[in-house]
Amino acid sequence: MNDVLTAILLGIVEGVTEFLPVSSTGHLVLATELLGYDPKRWAVFNIAIQPGAILAIVALYWRTFLAVATGLAKREPQSVAFVRNLLLAFVPAVALGLAFNDEIEALLESAVTVAWALIAGGIAILVIERLAKTHTVGGISGVSSGQSLKIGLVQCIAMIPGVSRSGATIMGAMALGIDRRTAAEFSFFLALPTLTGATVLQLVKHRDAITGGDVQLIAIGFVVSFVVALAVVKAFLAVVTKHGFAPFAWYRIVAGALALGFLYS
């Protein structure tokens, strides 16, 4: 398979999985391993195309961002609380990401770690779905400061590839009593600073290894992930509202088991 087709395929994987609780990074790691790509070569690419999926959230929720920006200018409490909560949830990822960046990169080369994390995460989702007692909080601005910080701490578990940033964030929020839709949207919005920061850090760190050809491939993956994520986010909310997160939990368990079978064979 040539590089352009590889970039398109990985862009599709990123767009489909970034905001689902199934681990986009884990799927990208497995894709490079199972399809025989050189994981070291494509590791930076996998991170660099994440902003494409992030841009999809901006496109889908531009009215929300505009309302928050306008509210901040007027110092409206809801807008201030919205930004405060996202910043509080973002801080733990910054601290741990900078402290353990090398260790995190090493884990990105382990497809076996991803497979086991998929299974463990699936089981955790099933347990939380059954036991969590949630209530409507009225959107992200209705989440407390303490809850936001705790959600940010839980998100850090997703530094282990295969855990899922969105899955950890959503399940952490639900375990704290936050309703499904707010938990999902908290995950969407928290992705903006978290993934942007991670992407910038990796691109700066590996800037000398990126060639002109790599930039072209990254651009292709970026566009593909953006287009795919636009469709996936809308469908995701519809599925969650009707069926909850159990379908994604069972998918994780099956996918992880199949990956382990392939890797150990």
**Per-residue pLDDT of the chain in tens (265 residues, 90 and over written 9):** 588 888 898 899 889 988 899 988 788 888 877 776 666 667 778 788 888 988 999 999 999 999 999 999 999 999 999 999 999 999 998 888 777 766 776 666 678 888 999 999 999 999 999 999 988 888 899 999 999 999 999 998 888 888 888 999 999 999 999 998 899 999 999 988 888 887 887 777 777 767 777 788 889 999 999 999 999 988 888 888 788 899 999 999 999 999 999 888 7
Nearest to 174 by CA among 217, 119, 120, 125: 125
Cα 220 to Cα 11: distance, rounded to the nearest angstrom: 8
pTM equals 0.84
Nearest to 233 by CA among 11, 13, 3, 16: 16
Write the CB contacts of 251 (distance below 8 Å, at least 6 apart in sequence): 22, 122
Write the CB contacts of 148 (distance below 8 Å, at least 6 apart in sequence): 84, 85, 86, 88, 89
CB 42 within 8 A of CB 217: no
Cα 248 to Cα 261: distance, rounded to the nearest angstrom: 20
Farthest-apart Cα atoms in the chain, separation: 61
CB 23 within 8 A of CB 117: yes
In the prediction, which pLDDT does 111 show?
Answer: 83
In the prediction, which pLDDT does 107 show?
Answer: 65
In the prediction, which pLDDT does 152 show?
Answer: 93
In the prediction, which pLDDT does 39 show?
Answer: 63
In the prediction, which pLDDT does 109 show?
Answer: 66
Cα 124 to Cα 126: distance, rounded to the nearest angstrom: 5
